[in-house]
Amino acid sequence: MTTTTPLRPETGFDEHPPRHERPDGLSRAIPFPEPHVEKIRGVKLIALWFGLAAGAWCIAAGVGYGLYVVVQTVL
């Protein structure tokens, strides 16, 4: 076997796989409609960002204090 020998025999199906159509002629996959999503704007958006930032800082402070306690205990 050389490097130019194909690993699979040529079947002819690789280029165009067979399509099985529905008997009624409709497509097999009907796309779902896009959901309507209301955007958060104004004061709600600012409050959300402030809350997320405050939560992240609380988690970072808690992890930092936990590492401080572990290092103090080990030393």
Question: So where are the chain's domains?
Answer: 39-75
pLDDT band at 17; cut points 50, 70, 90: low
As a whole number of angstroms, the distance between CA 64 and CA 58 comes to 10
The residues, ordered by sequence, that sit 6+ positions from 40 with a Cβ below 8 Å of its Cβ are 48
The residues, ordered by sequence, that sit 6+ positions from 22 with a Cβ below 8 Å of its Cβ are 28
As a whole number of angstroms, the distance between CA 44 and CA 50 comes to 10
Query: pLDDT for 39-74, tens place per residue?
Result: 999 999 999 999 999 999 999 999 999 999 999 999
Give the per-residue pLDDT at 20: 62
Distances (CA, A) of 20 to 2, 23, 25, 73: 37, 9, 10, 68
User: Among the listed ranges 9-18, 20-29, 30-39, which one has the minimum average pLDDT value?
Assistant: 9-18
> What predicted TM-score, i.e. pTM, was given to this entire model?
0.48
